[in-house]
Chain A
Amino acid sequence: MTKLSYVRTEMLPEREPPTSATGVIGWMRQNLFNGWMNSLLTLISLAVIFWLVAGLLPWFWSPTWNAGSLGQCREIIAEAGKQSGACWGVINERWPQMLFGFYPQDLRLRPTLAFFLLFVALIPVLFAMISRRMNWLLLVLVLFAATFFGPGGAVMTVLQIVLGLGLAWLAWTVVATDRADRAAQIKEGVKRLPNPLIFSAAFVFLMPWLLWGGSVWVPVGVALGFVIGWLVFRLLNALIGSLAALILAIVTPVLWWLFLNGLFASAMQAVLPYGLEPVPSRLFGGLLLSVTIGVTAIVISLPMGIMLALGRQSDLLIVKSLSVIFIEFIRGVPLITLLFVASVLLNIFLPPGTNFDIILRVIIMATIFAAAYMAEVVRGGLAALPKGQYEAADALGLDYWKAQRLIIMPQALKISIPGIVSTFIGLFKDTTLVSIIGLLDPIGLSTSIRADTNWNGIVWELYGFVALLFFIFTFSMSRYSMYLERRLRTDHG
């Protein structure tokens, strides 16, 4: 052997890190006071924060909640012996309007229910860790809660009892089923509940009906159109090839919606009349309007953006050029221009007498605007994928659509999450632009409230409230995207 003077025979045990590196003190030392420059910046920041809070807090802390006008606010503030203070009376008086606009007061349960159901419908899309059982439980819970605010009557009571029993049963099974024990349950033949995505799909048709009301047969007919398209594709795919079948599967439902759905709905309505009281679009306003436009545009713009991004990369010249022209044109035009087109120009071009809903027009414009940006964000994700991924998918015999769906898109979308969510947030905030074409979103409403003689001169309270409403939504989206990025990480233990 060589001259080995030292050989370790035992491995040293692990030791705790020194206390100076852990705990509150350790954290502060590491993050706030490491070095004189950092310490100085920390102190300056603390001073600025203190100065801001000290200035704002007295303004916030202002007992004006019950004031009926700006004048009363001033009196209350003067009585309290203060120089200035917020006038919260305006929020107290107008918050229902800021949320619902001029939506009839006795019908506001409908948009509220739609809003909560929206969350239930999004669960299977957004949160993988919530079980099916829990998902159905939440759905029944929301419906059950809604019955207490409903119009009452015998039917309602029966519904309440049924939902209450369902709720109790689901709650019991959620407690009783241990999620880790799924394997044993499969052996015992415990059936899984149906996929809650069924409700998510149904909600697409349920939401407009809840908001706008009318005959129940209209949304049923619209849903039927999709079923028809699917059937056409299934039946003809083998007979006339996939492309022709696809074209027919798009054309047939469109014809159905344009020409037959109205007949179908009125015929069914004559036999089985059931509907909700219709609410015209001009009564929509406030946050309800922003959320309706924002959510619809968000949900549609993502798949549309994906298709445009794929179209832009396509080898088919026509598909490629159409995608490029669409994306570049829409991105090149300010959203406000598109909204003016929606509100003014379309009326000139459409035949007189056609009633093309203004909210629908705005949703279409907001959607195509967001889709154009989305297409570029997704294209960025596609470009970041190594060529080897496409080759491996090809070599395994996956066709184009399967490769896109199973291999390419999951990775490209994951890379694009920050960009996608930024586009969503931007879109949601841009819904306030509809105030310029006269729709009463929270900003539009603020303007009209400020025109009221009682509240003439109010600024910060109203816009601060609007800001808070929007912040709740946009901040949740931003946090969700961070959660999603963490969940989709696959490169650590």
Chain B
Amino acid sequence: MPSQEIERAVDHSRMKVSDTVAIEIRDMNKWYGQFHVLRDINLTVNEGERIVIAGPSGSGKSTLIRCINRLEEHQAGSIIVDGTELSSDLKNVDKVRSEVGMVFQHFNLFPHLTILENCTLAPIWVRKVPRNEAEESAMQYLEKVKIPEQANKYPGQLSGGQQQRVAIARSLCMKPRIMLFDEPTSALDPEMIKEVLDTMIELAEEGMTMLVVTHEMGFAQQVANRVIFMDAGQIVEQNEPTEFFNNPQSDRTKLFLSQIL
């Protein structure tokens, strides 16, 4: 498995983990029909944490982070995001979703809208921001991900790396407090992976709380403050990155690391 080299030094000065709890998951279980996909998940994420979730394919990584903004429903246990418990109450779900941004493996940009419209849609319709304010703010985020000049193009006219950076900008326009990334670089050609990782590093440097499912172990080593290893629907091991990579405890982690590093 390739692991992209991160060339520049990552600035850790503003990456501070606070004491405030951002996400609290307790004894969470989820089934797809008969299939027990997540088993007894317990996870507490503090504000400012940068967590990388790794594990073999099919181990439930996507399902776990998709439960956090309720793209998937859990059947037992509890998930509390920023003090709001996720339940069938739609008001709570909407509240959580407006606080939590998500970036998908396949970008999922809206192809019928321009880049700018992609970015302003949710602020205008969900947050009720006036259009010109939303556009101004969207242009700032597009500058941040370094593609302001593409604002009036359509997603189909951009490269994969550019699309993924737009997807990140689109999430940021909602001013989320937590960002979820589900394999954001897995669908990209190698030369585009770096531009997306750079964007994510900048985000981390500004202190964003991030949960990242990725196979980019270079990113994990330099940016994450915690690495979680999942297998067969369970959290098998979690540790800070240096310990995790240099001194893995469980056999499954060792096997996994030997395969991908």
Contacts and interface: CB of A to CB of B under 8 A. Distances in A.
Interface in A410-441: 410-411, 414
A24 interface: no
Nearest to A394: B71
Contacts of A402: 125-126
Interface stretch (A26-34, A97-105, A125-133, A485-493): A485-493
A459 B100 CA distance: 71
A398 B126 contact: yes
A492 B157 contact: yes
A389 B154 contact: no
Nearest to A407: B110
A397 B156 contact: no
Contact of B98 (A386, A388, A397, A491): A397
A406 B157 contact: no
A395 interface: yes
B71 A395 contact: yes
Interface in A468-493: 488, 490-493
Interface residues of B, number: 27
A389 B155 CA distance: 13
B126 A396 contact: yes
A240 interface: no
Nearest to B174: A396
B122 interface: yes
B111 interface: yes
B108 A399 contact: no
B125 A491 contact: no
B38 interface: no
A42 to B, nearest CB: 37
B71 A391 contact: yes
A388 B94 CA distance: 18
Interface in B220-258: none
Contacts of B122: 396-398
Contacts of B69: 394-395
From DSSP, what is the main secondary structure of chain B's interface residues?
mixed
Given A391-B71, A491-B154, A492-B157, A397 B111 contact: no
Given A396-B174, A397-B97, A411 B111 contact: yes
Interface in B116-160: 121-122, 125-126, 154-157
B102 interface: yes
Contacts of A406: 121, 125
A388 B121 contact: no
Contacts of A272: none
Contacts of A399: 90, 94
Given A388-B104, A397-B174, A410 B112 contact: yes
A392 B110 contact: yes
Contacts of B121: 396, 398, 406-407
B101 interface: yes
A394 B69 CA distance: 9
Given A406-B125, A491-B154, A396 B112 contact: no
Nearest to A405: B125
Contacts of B110: 389, 392, 407, 411
Nearest to A490: B154
Interface string A264-303: 0000000000000000000000000000000000000000
Contacts of B171: 395-396
B109 interface: yes
Given A397-B97, A397-B174, A414 B112 contact: yes
A398 B125 contact: yes
Contacts of B104: 388, 391-392, 395
Contact of B108 (A392, A411, A490): A392
Contacts of A491: 111, 154, 156-157
B94 A397 contact: yes
B106 interface: yes
Contacts of A395: 69, 71, 97, 100-102, 104, 171
B108 A391 contact: yes
A407 to B, nearest CB: 6
Interface of A: 386, 388-389, 391-392, 394-399, 402, 406-407, 410-411, 414, 488, 490-493
Interface of B: 69, 71, 90, 94, 97-98, 100-102, 104, 106, 108-112, 121-122, 125-126, 154-157, 170-171, 174
25 contacts: A386-B108, A388-B104, A388-B106, A389-B108, A394-B69, A394-B97, A395-B69, A395-B97, A395-B100, A395-B104, A395-B171, A396-B97, A396-B126, A397-B94, A397-B122, A398-B122, A398-B126, A399-B90, A399-B94, A402-B125, A402-B126, A406-B125, A490-B111, A490-B154, A492-B157
Given A391-B108, A395-B97, 8 more contacts: A388-B104, A389-B110, A392-B108, A395-B69, A395-B171, A397-B97, A398-B121, A493-B157
Query: 10 closest A-B pairs (Cβ-Cβ)?
Result: A491-B156, A388-B108, A392-B108, A490-B154, A396-B122, A397-B97, A395-B102, A397-B98, A397-B126, A410-B112
